[in-house]
Structure 1
Amino acid sequence: MKITNFKFHERGLNRFFGPLEARILDILWEKPEQSIKAVQEKLDQEKPINFNTVMTVMNRLVDKGILSRRSAGRSSVYSPTESKEHFLEKQSKEITHELIEDFGPLVVNHMIDAIEDVNPELLEQLEQKIKAMKKER
């Protein structure tokens, strides 16, 4: 599944999804195999939300391939099709490759600057990875 709409000015999962989609996914990543009603009740604890709205969003996430649905008696249960970690790994890799393809050395330089500004330990990890890659060649 490839996300085609990346929202630069949002944070976290909201960069890939709408706020309700992101919240539903967080709930299901925390505890898969939940019904629409269970998810709606969890969302209601934060802010009241209509059952039909939750059902529509969850079914759209199924259509997008992000959630799976299976019958469980008279209702259905929903689960993410992949872990949050795997989803974020794939999306960040895709974004990075596209940025490098479009902007080349500029992106690499800005990423290194950002790593150094945010966490110098990440710069050390990057250096180790580059050394390992050079040895493999």
Structure 2
Amino acid sequence: MSIKNFRYDKVGLNRFFGPLEAKIMDILWNGNEKSIKEVQQLIEKERSINFNTVMTVMNRLVEKKILEKRVERRTSLYKPIKTKTEFIDEQSKKLTENLLDEFGEMIVNHMLDSLEDVNPNLLDKLEQKLEQLKKGNK
């Protein structure tokens, strides 16, 4: 699954999804599989929304291979194909690879510059990974 539009000026799931898609994914990542009606009712606690709108967005997320759908007793149930952590890991890896492919050394320099304020544990992990790469062990 590949997200085509990364929105660097947004925050959280809104970097990958439109606002309604992000809300739906948040709901589904925080619970069991749900029907369109259940998702609509949870969204309606915050704002009014049409059932058909929720259905359209959820079915588009199925087409994008982000959700899977199964039918039980004539009710469609939806759940994410990947966990939230798996999804964000996959998307951030693709984004990093794309930036490195396109901008190479410039991106590495910017990443290194941004390490000044990073958690020391992350620096330790980076150092370990660099040592592994130098030894040829990915």
TM-score (norm 1): 0.92
Deviations 1:61-98 (A, max 9, x none): 11111111110112110011111111111111111011
Computed over aligned residues only, the root mean square deviation of the Cα atoms, in angstroms, reads: 1.4
CA contact (8 A) 1:25 1:80 kept: yes
Q: 1:6, CA displacement in angstroms?
A: 1.0
Structure 2 partner of 1:40:
40
Task: Mark the runs of 5 or more structure 2 residues left unpaired by the alignment.
Answer: none
Q: 1:29, CA displacement in angstroms?
A: 1.0
Structure 2 partner of 1:31:
31
TM-score (norm 2): 0.91
Structure 2 partner of 1:4:
4
Identity %: 55
**SS of 2:34 mapped into structure 1:** coil
Counterparts of 1:44 and 1:77 in 2: how far apart (Å)? 19
Stretches of 4+ aligned residues off by more than 6 angstroms? none
Q: How does 1:55-94 map to 2 (within 5 A)?
A: 55-94=55-94
> Structure 2: which amino acid aligns with 1:28?
L
> Structure 1: which amino acid aligns with 2:56?
T
Q: 1:116, CA displacement in angstroms?
A: 2.3
CA contact (8 A) 1:116 1:122 kept: no
Counterparts of 1:124 and 1:112 in 2: how far apart (Å)? 14
Counterparts of 1:32 and 1:110 in 2: how far apart (Å)? 40
Counterparts of 2:42 and 2:27 in 1: how far apart (Å)? 8
Structure 2 partner of 1:132:
132
Deviations 1:101-124 (A, max 9, x none): 111111011112223224343222
Task: Mark the runs of 5 or more structure 1 residues left unpaired by the alignment.
Answer: none
Deviates more, 1:124-133 or 1:29-38: 124-133
Q: How many residue pairs align between the two structures?
A: 137
**SS of 2:68 mapped into structure 1:** strand
Counterparts of 1:78 and 1:42 in 2: how far apart (Å)? 14
